[in-house]
């Protein structure tokens, strides 16, 4: 059976990777750079409360149940002047606000992996801080850490095709976290960290020109790509507690 035992730090991809790490009872760091993770980190940094929720479920009913506002799609929310999955739409005015955030990748991976000793959100924006938090938790809980790069989803997937599309931005985001983590790294985690170390001085360029970056830019969201490409601008580490991401400072 495939696994990355007996290493302290591991690397996985997507929904299945998150699910398998959860089955093993490990500490999990979810990385979805464009844009779920970056949005959660930014929103929580400004004091917002985020409820992650899978898009396949009834988000409106869930939002009503928990007394939160369901975040709309980028175009719809922009017209209404509301925050969206776009991280740059959050600011200090949203402090104390409660929002249900759905996404095909990051929110879904969070949902399937929620029953673990600790689930943290990582991105380029808080890479060093989340690594420091994970190092502490690994020692306290005596559990290994798996960093999950969520990846993207192919459109119009046929029955005989895999829906996961690995993404360079999530690989580099995961690598940024793994590069600062202590303990023995699996070969998968080691190579991921090395990919970040070799690209650290070109993050803005690589995210701007990668497939996901181009897709967002063509939709008019270049500011998101620029924001999400920044390294270690926040010290906040969102941790999932009772289905909610709130402010947790670890550095």
CATH, residue 29: 3.90.1560.10
In a domain, 86, yes or no: no
What is the C-alpha separation between 186 and 174, in angstroms, rounded? Answer: 13
Q: Residue 61: is its pLDDT beyond 60?
A: yes
Q: Which neighbouring-strand residues pair with 147?
A: 11, 29
pTM higher than the cut 0.75: yes
User: Higher pLDDT residue, 249 or 30?
Assistant: 30
Report CA-CA distances (Å) from 231 to 2, 38, 152, 200, 236. 32, 11, 21, 9, 13
Q: What is the pLDDT of residue 73?
A: 74
In a domain, 29, yes or no: yes
What is the C-alpha separation between 84 and 115, in angstroms, rounded? Answer: 26
In a domain, 156, yes or no: yes
Average pLDDT, the chain: 94
Sheet holding 69-70, edge to edge: 9-13, 145-149, 27-31, 119-122, 239-241, 244-246, 49-53, 98-102, 69-70
Q: What is the pLDDT of residue 1?
A: 58
Range of the domain at 138: 9-38+104-240
Q: Residue 89: is its pLDDT beyond 60?
A: yes
| Percentage of residues of the chain with pLDDT beyond 90 | 88
* pLDDT tens figures, 135-178: 999 999 999 999 999 999 998 999 899 999 999 999 999 999 99
Structural domains counted in the chain:
1
What is the C-alpha separation between 165 and 153, in angstroms, rounded? Answer: 5
Q: What is the pLDDT of residue 251?
A: 53
- Range 235-244 average pLDDT: 96
In a domain, 246, yes or no: no
In a domain, 193, yes or no: yes
In a domain, 58, yes or no: no
Work out whether strand 27-31 and strand 152-153 pair parallel, antiparallel, or are unpaired. unpaired
In a domain, 62, yes or no: no
In a domain, 177, yes or no: yes
């Amino acid at each position: 059976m495939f696994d990355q035992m007996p290493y302290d730090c591991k690397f996985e991809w997507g929904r299945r990777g998150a699910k398998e790490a959860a089955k093993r009872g490990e500490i999990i760091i979810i990385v979805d750079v464009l844009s779920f993770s970056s949005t959660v980190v930014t929103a929580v940094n400004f004091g917002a409360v985020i409820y992650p929720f899978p898009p396949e479920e009834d988000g409106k009913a869930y939002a009503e149940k928990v007394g939160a506002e369901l975040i709309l799609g980028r175009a719809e929310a922009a017209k209404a002047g509301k925050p969206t999955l776009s991280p740059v739409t959050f600011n200090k005015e949203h402090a104390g606000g409660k929002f249900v955030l759905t996404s095909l990748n990051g929110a879904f991976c969070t949902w399937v992996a929620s029953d673990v000793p600790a689930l943290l959100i990582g991105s380029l924006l808080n890479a060093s801080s989340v690594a420091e938090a994970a190092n502490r938790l690994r020692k306290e809980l005596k559990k290994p850490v798996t960093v999950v790069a969520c990846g993207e989803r192919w459109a119009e997937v046929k029955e005989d095709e895999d829906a996961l599309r690995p993404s360079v931005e999530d690989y580099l985001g995961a690598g940024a976290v793994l590069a600062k983590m202590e303990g023995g790294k699996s070969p998968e985690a080691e190579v991921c960290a090395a990919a970040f170390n070799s690209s650290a001085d070109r993050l803005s360029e690589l995210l701007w020109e990668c497939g996901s970056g181009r897709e967002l830019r063509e939709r008019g969201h270049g500011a998101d790509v620029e924001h999400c490409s920044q390294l270690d601008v926040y010290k906040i580490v969102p941790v999932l507690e009772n289905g909610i991401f709130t402010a947790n400072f670890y550095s």
